[in-house]
Amino acid sequence: MKTLRRHLGLLAALGLALCSNTAAAQTMVTLQSGAVSGVTDAGVTSFKGIPFAAPPIGALRWKAPQPPAHWQGVRVADKTGPSCMQRAAANSTTATSEDCLYVNVWRPAEIPARAKLPVMVWIYGGSFVIGSGASPLYDGANLARNGVIIVNINYRLGRFGWFAYPELTKEADAMGTGNFGLMDQIAALKWVQANIGAFGGDPANVTVFGESAGAMSLNDLLSIPKARGLFAKGITESGLGRIPATPLAAAEARGTAFAKSAGAADLAALRNLPASAVLESTENFGPILDGTLLPANVDRTFGDGNETKVPWIVGSNDFEASLFAGRLTDPDAYLATLPATDRTQLIALYDPQNLGNKMKIAADVVTDKVFTEPARFLAGSEAKTGQPVYRYFFSYVPEQARTRVLGAGHGSEIQFVFGNLANRLITYTDSDKRTSTVMGQYWTNFAKTGNPNGLGLVAWPADKNDQVLLIDATGEHAASGFRKPQLDILLHETTTP
């Protein structure tokens, strides 16, 4: 009898173990580098802080990212990795480190066996000097509930991500030099191709989406031959489009000047500098026209029809000038920089009722010159290739904030796309939440099929004849020839406000 009880006890324990293993299997996936376990909450399983590359430190500083090390056992993926080095981690509570090449993944908790869900890879903005995949603003849980897998990534910033130096140019390989942040993004997309199937994702149906510097990065990825085949669709949110990359010679001169100021005689000495010494800078950073990884500026590549041909959403907001608020303190002085004939015509077009609000006029000119016109140009160029292209113009402002701002500022659409309405200064209304739901549906519908339209949504026409979807306080509605007279005047203006 004792033997029987002992055997029954062992069977019961085994049963509990099997149940436990079954539960664990729902949140555990095996990747090329090892196994990870995630956390399930409110119908979404997240996997955070997964390395997609080796730490770019020491001898790997300013090198193309290398494969991550393998690990034994199951890595608990319940915390985001460090943010990349920057002066202040934007919207993130994580520490900063050079060891920062991590991804975070969200997927629906319940997925069919052998599922192949659409995948959306987010690239954050921040002028190439700040930003983090750990930002709560980019939490992918709400979008994942629409039946997609969300991946957000880190990439090197500032001088760590965008740095040229003659010795670096000499040691460059097929990935070129200088654009280490772009190399990180490409490495992350390769990681997605190799590993997303383990999460139930479809590597053949990857949509890259990003905002500001992240959208500029996507524009670059569409221009880079080495990025072809790594994603199938794109969404560019406020991606400028005509800002040129820094020529390699100029970037090398800046790098040489930094080395001299830091007391570094050569590349080895630069790599031995403490991270704090590399970080200290007030310079602007961003893509470098190295001729290898990035062969030409984006507008040249698209104008020549040499970009990657994919279905695409392109758009911007109605108060993008918020990004340049410091330059608009004297709107009369700014408007005076425009050619006289253009200035007269633009003032009449932007102020048809002759209200005389020079700040609003100047803000509209900057917004359209730097964002709206380039979006129209890039969308039109891609549409000529026969790909479906959808353009939007976002001017929705939360109801309780409408008396405080001139319009939808730079980056203000992000919280609506991700469904993370988190401004603690206001209470979001049903209208705000509806707009967020609609945008999330458009974005995830596009990720699924290459077409944002779906049941219950206002029809969003493809941009075949200068058509755009307006998203504003009255809802969503399509328009043709949106701001065409203004944009035609600004077409030949410079793009620096």
Query: For 236-259, how does the pLDDT look when each residue is reduced to its tens digit (9 = 90+)?
Result: 999 999 999 999 999 999 999 999
Confidence of residue 328 (pLDDT cuts 50, 70, 90): confident
Within 10 Å of residue 271's Cβ, how many Cβ atoms? 16
The reported pLDDT for the residue numbered 487 is: 96
Confidence of residue 422 (pLDDT cuts 50, 70, 90): confident
Helix 180-195 with 213-223: angle, nearest 10 deg: 80
Region 487-496 average pLDDT: 74
391 has a pLDDT exceeding 80: yes
**Does the annotation count 7 as an active-site position?**
no
- β-bridge mates for residue 150, sequence order: 106, 120
Region 268-280 average pLDDT: 95
- β-bridge mates for residue 390, sequence order: 313
What's the alpha-carbon Rg for the chain, to the nearest Å?
A: 24
Do 122 and 209 contact (CB within 8 A), yes or no? yes
The reported pLDDT for the residue numbered 495 is: 43
Region 165-191 average pLDDT: 97
Residue 306 backbone class (left: φ over 0; alpha: ψ -120 to 50; beta: rest): alpha
237 compared with 280, residue with greater pLDDT: 237
Do 251 and 179 contact (CB within 8 A), yes or no? no
**Active-site residue among 382, 410, 413, 493?**
410
State the burial class of residue 54 (Cβ atoms within 10 Å of its Cβ: 0-12, 13-18, 19+): middle
**Superfamily of 36-490 according to CATH:** Alpha/Beta hydrolase fold, catalytic domain (3.40.50.1820)
Region 213-242 average pLDDT: 97
The H or E element containing residue 416 is helix 414-418
Mean pLDDT of the chain: 92
**102-108/83-84 β-pairing:** unpaired
Give the rounded percent of residues in the chain with a pLDDT score beyond 70: 92
The reported pLDDT for the residue numbered 16 is: 32
The whole-angstrom separation of Cα 495 and Cα 241 is 9
Region 226-243 average pLDDT: 97
The reported pLDDT for the residue numbered 5 is: 40
Q: What pLDDT digit, counting tens, does each position of 86-101 carry?
A: 986 544 567 999 999 9
**Does the annotation count 212 as an active-site position?**
yes
The whole-angstrom separation of Cα 97 and Cα 238 is 28
Do 398 and 370 contact (CB within 8 A), yes or no? no
HSE-CB for 56 with a 13 A CA cutoff: 30
492 compared with 257, residue with greater pLDDT: 257
The reported pLDDT for the residue numbered 281 is: 76
Instruction: Give the tokens for residue 63.
Output: 């090198």
One DSSP character per residue, 299-351 reads: HHHHHTT-S----EEEEEETBGGGGGGGGGSSHHHHHTTS-HHHHHHHHHHH-
For 428, list phi and psi in degrees, rounded to 5: -80, 135
**Active-site residue among 320, 382, 476, 493?**
320
Do 105 and 149 contact (CB within 8 A), yes or no? yes
Q: What pLDDT digit, counting tens, does each position of 135-160 carry?
A: 999 999 999 999 999 999 999 999 99
The reported pLDDT for the residue numbered 23 is: 35
Q: Where are the domains of the chain?
A: 36-490
Region 477-497 average pLDDT: 83
Q: What pLDDT digit, counting tens, does each position of 43-74 carry?
A: 999 999 999 999 999 999 999 999 999 999 99
15 compared with 251, residue with greater pLDDT: 251
232 has a pLDDT exceeding 70: yes
Within 10 Å of residue 360's Cβ, how many Cβ atoms? 17
**Active-site residue among 212, 223, 238, 436?**
212
- β-bridge mates for residue 208, sequence order: 121, 234
